[in-house]
């Protein structure tokens, strides 16, 4: 079988991250999404080690809606590590919460400075977007390393994966998620709990938005009940991927 040539057009084809959700503990899948090969090629994270009952908690923090302190309280009480992907707005608006994240052993990841569609900006602009976040988080918190990137809106191309990798960032996607970013729609903590628990599976990277009161209220029970099922919560720095 002949390989398709890599062209400028193919490098710039944009994708919106999606996946087949896990059910009954089966693994989530990106086999049918059309981008699995480039995600693997550039070392992006979708799953952790699927042979182990490990979970990775990741939060997107585009802006603060009053619930991150509660989330941090739960993580501290339960001794669970997490990563918070932040924007430039968040850095400027919430320096004390950033310091608390780092002081309590969490990672801060890159969610870009202004939350653009990365596939529609130049490599130079992309570099500015990402390095400004990294530099200003260091100034605020002292965290010198920033290895992880969550692309805004889940939109990416092979070029954005390649450019960010060259800048030292590992793209982090996810294998557990639900529509939790719309603050006008509140379904209650039970709804959030059930949406997350229905999808957990070995090696799962869980995406939650910190603007959701439902998530904040459900988090302790999610952690407790996942542990009852034999799962451990790990830091992204401990993640060792296997092929997916």
Q: Distance (Å, rounded) from C-alpha 120 to C-alpha 139?
A: 29
**pTM confidence score:** 0.93
Q: DSSP letters of 46-77?
A: SB--TTS-EEEEEEEESS--S-HHHHHHHHHH
pLDDT at site 6: 52
**DSSP H helical segments within 104-211, as ranges?**
123-141, 158-166, 189-197
Active-site amino acid positions = 60, 209
pLDDT at site 2: 38
Structure tokens at 86: 């932040």
pLDDT at site 9: 57
Tens of pLDDT along the chain (244 residues) come to: 334 445 555 788 999 999 999 999 999 999 999 999 999 999 999 999 999 999 999 999 999 999 999 999 999 999 999 999 999 999 999 999 999 999 999 999 999 999 999 999 999 999 999 999 999 999 999 998 999 999 999 999 999 999 999 999 999 999 999 987 666 677 879 999 999 999 999 999 999 999 889 999 999 999 999 999 999 999 999 997 655 6
Q: What is the dihedral sign for C-alpha 9, 14, 19, 20?
A: negative
Question: What does R_g of the chain's alpha carbons equal in angstroms?
Answer: 17
Q: Distance (Å, rounded) from C-alpha 97 to C-alpha 91?
A: 9
């Amino acid at each position: 079988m002949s390989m398709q040539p890599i062209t400028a057009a193919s490098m710039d084809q944009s994708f919106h991250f999606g996946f087949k959700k896990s059910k009954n503990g089966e693994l989530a899948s990106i086999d049918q999404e059309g981008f699995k090969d480039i995600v693997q090629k550039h070392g992006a994270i979708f799953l952790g080690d699927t042979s182990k009952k490990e979970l990775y908690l990741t939060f997107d923090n585009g802006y603060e809606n009053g619930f991150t302190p509660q989330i941090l309280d739960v993580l501290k009480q339960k001794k669970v590590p997490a990563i918070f992907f932040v924007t430039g707005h968040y850095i400027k608006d919430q320096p004390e919460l950033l310091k608390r994240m780092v002081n309590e052993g969490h990672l801060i990841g890159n969610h870009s400075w202004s939350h653009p569609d990365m596939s529609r900006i130049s490599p130079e602009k992309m570099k500015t977007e990402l390095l400004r976040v990294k530099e200003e988080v260091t100034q605020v918190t002292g965290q010198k390393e920033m290895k992880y990137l969550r692309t805004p809106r889940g939109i990416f191309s092979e070029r954005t994966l390649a450019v960010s990798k060259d800048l030292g960032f590992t793209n982090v996607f996810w294998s557990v998620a639900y529509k939790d970013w719309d603050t006008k729609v509140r379904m209650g903590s039970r709804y959030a709990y059930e949406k997350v628990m229905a999808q957990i599976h070995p090696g799962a990277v869980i995406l939650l938005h910190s603007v959701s009161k439902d998530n904040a209220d459900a988090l302790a029970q999610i952690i407790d009940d996942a542990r009852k099922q034999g799962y451990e919560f790990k830091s992204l720095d401990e993640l060792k991927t296997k092929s997916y």
